[in-house]
Structure 1
Amino acid sequence: MDSREFRNAMGKFATGITIVTTEYDGNTLGMTVNAFMSVSLEPKLIAISIDEKASMYDKLQKTKKFGISILNEDQKDFSMVFARQKEKDQVIPIVKQDGIPVIDGAIATLSCHVKETATAGDHMIFIAEVTDLNMNQGEPIIFYSGKYRALD
């Protein structure tokens, strides 16, 4: 099988859309990530997977902390900006939560501190403890088969 076929098969798994954010050298950086999951309730752990070619790859290893913003259906454009699929044409509302940048208005935001990393092929898996969270009303934006979708 080739890489495109594998990617297409993985696209058959519907996921939510998250933005991973961190502060590095006084700047807020972010990227769209759909490789996100809950790992443990005690302690409260989550995991994200970041491609070694991503600009956040090295920075997350240095900052050791990041925010997760689970986007709502009205925040599709934020995902596209952070995925570099479109130019930024509006202010993306960033707030600090436990000193970590997150997207204001997301249906859930998590502040995370990296506990472990594991190299997995061309990605790094970051396992992080959740130190704070916030939830809002709304419906999620999801990604399936290469397209953004909303729940009906």
Structure 2
Amino acid sequence: MDDRQFRNAMGKFATGVTVIATEVEGEVHGMTANAFMSVSINPKLVVISIGENARILNKIKQSKIFTVNILAADQQELSMIFAGQLKEHREVEFDRLDGKPVTPGAVAQIACEVSAEHVEGDHTLFIGKVTDIHLEDAEPLIFYSGRYRSLTEEKTAAL
């Protein structure tokens, strides 16, 4: 199998879209990612996967903190900003959760401290101990087969 076939197969798994953020010396750094999952409830742990060429990789190693911001359906532009898909520079405002930078309006904001990191292939997996969570009542932004999508509620007939 070639790299493209592998990438296409992985794209068949529908995911939410997140912005991973960290802060070093007062400067916030962010990256769009869909490689995120929960690991454990007790203790509360999540994992993110960051590519070896991502600029944020060394920032997280240095700061030992990150946030996962699960984007809402109306935040596609924010996803594109942090994915480097928009040509013109746009300022992004951040709120704070447990002192860590989070994106306003996200469906979920998850503040984490790095508890472990593992290099696997061309990515580093960061295990994050969750220190705080903030939730909003909104529909999530979805990514499937290389395109942004949205959820549609299926109407079911009462039996």
Do they superpose with TM above 0.5? yes
Structure 1: 4+ residue segments shifted above 6 A: none
**Tell me, which stretches of 5 or more residues in structure 1 are unaligned?**
none
| Residues 1:76 and 2:76 are matched in the alignment | yes
Give the superposition deviation at 1:89. Answer: 6.1
Mapping 1:63-102, distance limit 5 Å: 63-87=63-87, 90-102=90-102
The answer for the alignment partner of 2:21 in structure 1 is: 21
Tell me the equivalent position of 1:115.
Answer: 115
Structure 1 contact 81–88 (Cα < 8 Å) conserved: no
Give the partner amino acid of 1:63. Answer: S
What secondary structure, in the 3-state scheme, does the structure 2 residue paired with 1:46 have? strand
Provide the C-alpha distance between the structure 2 equivalents of 1:119 and 1:84, rounded to a whole number of angstroms: 24
State the TM-score, normalizing by the size of structure 1. 0.97
Deviation at 1:92, TM superposition (A): 2.8
Deviation at 1:24, TM superposition (A): 1.2
Aligned partners of 2:100 and 2:111 also within 8 Å: yes
Distance in 1, Cα, partners of 2:128 & 2:47:
6
The structural deviation recorded for 1:59 is 1.1
In 2, the alpha carbon distance for the partners of 1:88 and 1:120 equals: 34
1:37 is aligned to 37
Residue 155 of structure 2 is matched in structure 1 by: none
CA distance in 1, matches of 2:105, 2:32: 16
Contact map agreement 2:81 2:90 (CA 8 A) in 1: no
Rounded to whole Å, the distance in 1 between the matches of 2:92 and 2:136 is 17
- The offset of 1:128, in angstroms, is 0.6
Paired residues for 1:2-21 under 5 Å? 2-21=2-21
Give, in whole Å, the separation in 1 of the partners of 2:88 and 2:132: 28
Matches of residues 129-144 of structure 1 in structure 2 within 5 Å?
129-144=129-144
Query: CA contact under 8 A between 1:67 and 1:101: conserved in structure 2?
Result: yes
CA distance, structure 2, for counterparts of residue 133 and residue 64 of structure 1: 18
Give the secondary-structure state (helix, strand or coil) at the position aligned to 1:134. Answer: strand
Q: 2 CA distance for matches of 1:73 and 1:89?
A: 22
Q: Which amino acid aligns with 1:94?
A: F
Aligned partners of 2:19, 2:87: CA distance in 1, in Å? 16
Q: In the aligned structure 2, how far is the partner of 1:119 from the partner of 1:90?
A: 32
- Structure 1 equivalent of residue 60 of structure 2: 60
Normalising by the residue count of structure 2, what TM-score does the alignment of the two structures yield? 0.92
Q: CA RMSD in A?
A: 1.1
| Structure 2 residue matching 1:5: 3-state secondary structure | helix
> Structure 1 residue 87: deviation in Å?
3.4
